[in-house]
Amino acid sequence: MSRRRIGLALAAASFAWGLAASVAHATDISFWTWRQEDKAAYNELFADFTKANPDIHVKFESFPDENYPTIVSTALAAGKGGDVIHTHAYGWLEQFVKAGYFEPQDMTSVPSLANQPADALVAGTYRADKKVYSLPFASQTLGLFINKDVFAKAGLTPPTTWDEFISVSKALKEKGIYPLANGMGTSWFNEMFVAIFTNPFLGQDFVSDLTSGKTTFKDQRYVAALGKLLELRDYMPDGFEGIDYETAGQLFISGKAAMLAGGSFDIATYRTQNPAINMDFVAPPMAKAGDTPQVTKFFDGGYAVNAKSANKEAALKLVNWMGTKEFGDKFSALLGNISPIKGVVIKDELLAHVAKLNETAMPHINVVYFRFEKPTGSELLQGDITKMMSGSITPDQLAADLTNGLAKWYKPFQGK
Amino acid sequence: MNNGWRHTAKAFRWRRSLWIASLLTPALVVMVLFVLWPLLSAFRLAFYEFNGLQPTGFVGFENFRKVLFETPYSDWTYNALKHNIIAFAALMVFENGTAFLLAYALLKALPGHRIHQVIVFLPVVLSAVIVGFLWKLFLHPLFGLVNQTLALVGIGAIPWLGNESTALGSILFANIWHWLGFPTLVLLAGMQRVSKEVIEAARLDGAGDYVLMTRIIWPLIAPSVTIVTILTFIGSFNWFEIPYVMAGLTGSPGGATDVLGLYFYRTAFGSTTTGIQDFGQGSALAVMMFIIVAGVTAIALRYLRRREIEL
């Protein structure tokens, strides 16, 4: 073999070795989520991350929403699963943390935690050790969608108080328009429906009394607020008991209904489904004029790091980046969600208005405080609310069922 | 010579055993891995408490006590069990009753019976998810085919799946529509096996359709009725897909369509909107379902087989 050939072979070998080394040094991590519909946006965000961190590539992997808890828990139990896991908040997160599946996050591993407001961090914190396990990603706001064109055509003004709501609804009904699009056909949304319309009657004092153990759901303030829901039945579509949240959304965006109790998470969806829609998102009717407008707010979930991840360092790096203003700005712009990160600029006018409403928001009581043990407040409320709306149980019975069920594990309710 | 023959016979037996073992092993491995092991795991987990998603300690029959005797779990268990029993009774009367009449009509080979046989069996080949979704659309309060038709005669919107008094019935109706062809086919096959001479003799003795059906056909198709009854029972107590698609994981409205299958799934695996997963209580429910289905099936089989001989 000539010297020249040996030289060429050595050069080729060094090139191949170098190439292999560079491939070996790139870290591939996966991001698991239930948000299939957000794939394009996340891939765009992850491309930005890789641009700043060329040695880390992120793969987006999504699973069906309904089966997500099962898929994630099974994978994590087997020591597998994504490196970064999209989690729900509060009680949902806690069961995974108890099992030791997630890595704690602190100011050393995830410095961007400093960008999160305190109420957001609660959503990703394990109550027992007060450590954060999931970096909050978005707040969701529950309120009232208004179809402005329908109101304009009917010559009416959107209501701000309960009395106005009833009188406006009567007028809309007389004109052959469904005043309120909602039905009772979707269990998970029924719980939100209750929060939307009862919270303005309950106020922050009730929440303080409830969480400090001074009162229970049997409190007359809660029973009276539930009673108000019964008045809504006359203004919901015919056969409302069987109308699901998707149908309600269609009635609203098609202009058949003037109002819809819903979540800010659907703003982007409704705009996609009907780009011509002229809508507003406002606080639900206040108990009386002069009260503070009160939407309902909760944190949807966060980003956790798999404790068994082989690429923990890269995963924490990604999570830390997901807590930066750079990520938050683009996240809000692409997904129409409100990022809790401090200083995030929300350019969309309606979304900025929702963020403003959040300043005086009430918490989603069941989700924030009563989903930690079995039976959860959600199970109990979702089971009873359809019965109450169809008249087979009274608000008093619902309040008693909720209190007695929660008393199984929530000590302040025991014996009350 | 004798030794050589014995040696060959032994080698042959050995090879034959090896051959049989090689054929049985894959099926056995699959059965052990995917049937026996999960079953035994469920039995084991039913006796453990879970804190979060990990078993934290042996608790004996505590999970069974909770789902059977502690409110609200016991209320949910009995409510779901009641609906399974209603489903079994309703399917026996309406599905299998109709199937018997249809099978008899098909047996008579009236004009067009072949196309009717296909039509009756057609929904069986559809997936339960498709059937559930289809009927959910048909029963939609505002846009559904059923209410649109009723509106023509002045009947207002009925929330079939949203009303506690109509929801279970509506789901059962969809289930009957889906499965009617199966018992019809089994019973028809049974009827076709009845000797023509017996039927002709009965006719000559002046038996009409009613007498023929109740006194001749019915007793002679007892083995087919046994199969249909047992399968209906198993199907009723493992019922999941159609209630899940049409009424959701919570058996809405207000648990009016909850069945043990849904309650088990919800308890063991939780749901995004209600929160907690509890494999311990879920496994206890699964074990109970297994005992009900296996136990009642064994007893019913014994009883029905004896009845077959008596008839």
**Cα–Cα distance measured from residue A325 to residue A407, given in angstroms and rounded to the nearest whole number:** 41
- Is A149 part of a structural domain of the chain? yes
- Is A2 part of a structural domain of the chain? no
Write out the two tokens for B102. 């249809």
pLDDT at res. A22: 47
CB contact under 8 A, A238 and B156: yes
Q: Among residues A334, A360, A386, which one ends one of the domains?
A: A360
Tell me the three-class secondary structure of chain B, residue by residue: CHHHHHHHHHHHHHHHHHHHHHHHHHHHHHHHHHHHHHHHHHHHHCCEEEECCEEEEECCCHHHHHHHHCCCHHHHHHHHHHHHHHHHHHHHHHHHHHHHHHHHHHHCCCCCHHHHHHHHHHHHHCCHHHHHHHHHHHCCCCCCHHHHHHHHCCCCCCCCCCCCCCHHHHHHHHHHHHHCHHHHHHHHHHHHCCCHHHHHHHHHCCCCHHHHHHHHHHHHCHHHHHHHHHHHHHHHHCCCHHHHHHHCCCCCCCCCCCCHHHHHHHHHHCCCCCCCCCHHHHHHHHHHHHHHHHHHHHHHHHHHHHHHHHC
- Is A383 part of a structural domain of the chain? yes
**Band (B306; pLDDT cuts 50, 70, 90):** confident
- Residue A386 Cα, gap to closest chain B Cα (Å): 6
Number of separate domains in chain A: 2
B253 interaction partners in chain A (CB closer than 8 Å): 184-185, 241, 386-387, 390
| Shared-domain flag, residues A103 and A202 | no
Write out the two tokens for A410. 């929530």
| Shared-domain flag, residues A96 and A30 | yes
| Shared-domain flag, residues A182 and A263 | yes
pLDDT at res. A21: 47
Nearest chain A residue to B147 by CA: give it: A239
Q: Among residues A329, A344, A360, which one ends one of the domains?
A: A360
Assess: ipTM above 0.90.
Answer: no
| Shared-domain flag, residues A335 and A369 | no
pLDDT at res. B213: 87
pLDDT at res. B2: 59
Domain coverage including residue A120: 26-139+298-360
CB contact under 8 A, A379 and B270: no
| Shared-domain flag, residues A251 and A308 | no
The list of chain A residues with pLDDT below 70 reads: 1-25
| Shared-domain flag, residues A92 and A103 | yes
CB contact under 8 A, B277 and A73: yes
Paired with B51 in beta bridges are: B54
Residue pLDDT, tens place only, B225-267: 999 999 999 999 999 999 999 998 889 898 999 999 999 999 9
| Shared-domain flag, residues A147 and A92 | no
pTM of the shown model: 0.85
Exposed/middle/buried for A14, CB within 10 Å: 0-12, 13-18, 19+?
A: exposed
- Is A18 part of a structural domain of the chain? no
Ordered by start, the domain boundaries in chain B are 2-36, 62-310
| Shared-domain flag, residues A151 and A111 | no
More confident residue, B306 or B295: B295
CB contact under 8 A, A99 and B52: yes
| Shared-domain flag, residues A254 and A223 | yes
The separation between CA A286 and the C-alpha centre of its own chain, rounded to angstroms, equals 23
The separation between CA B293 and the C-alpha centre of its own chain, rounded to angstroms, equals 10
Paired with A302 in beta bridges are: A87, A136
Residue B17 neighbours by CB distance under 10 Å: 10
| Shared-domain flag, residues A172 and A68 | no
**Cα–Cα distance measured from residue A346 to residue A325, given in angstroms and rounded to the nearest whole number:** 11
Residue A73 maps to which CATH number? 3.40.190.10
CB contact under 8 A, B142 and A91: no
Q: Among residues A360, A379, A404, which one ends one of the domains?
A: A360
A392 interaction partners in chain B (CB closer than 8 Å): 164, 254
DSSP run (H or E) holding A100? none
| Shared-domain flag, residues A314 and A338 | yes
Residue pLDDT, tens place only, B66-92: 999 998 999 999 999 999 999 999 999
More confident residue, B81 or B309: B81
- Is A302 part of a structural domain of the chain? yes
* B252 shares contact with chain A (CB less than 8 Å): yes
- Residue A158 Cα, gap to closest chain B Cα (Å): 25
CA distance from start to end of chain B: 59
Classify domain B62-310 by CATH number: 1.10.3720.10
Out of B52, B159, B163, the one facing A95 most closely (by C-beta) is B52
| Shared-domain flag, residues A337 and A206 | no
Asked if residue A370 lies in contact with residue A217, where contact means CB atoms within 8 angstroms, the answer is no
What average pLDDT does chain B have?
Answer: 90
* B142 shares contact with chain A (CB less than 8 Å): yes
Residue B206 neighbours by CB distance under 10 Å: 7
- Is A254 part of a structural domain of the chain? yes
CB contact under 8 A, A386 and B158: no
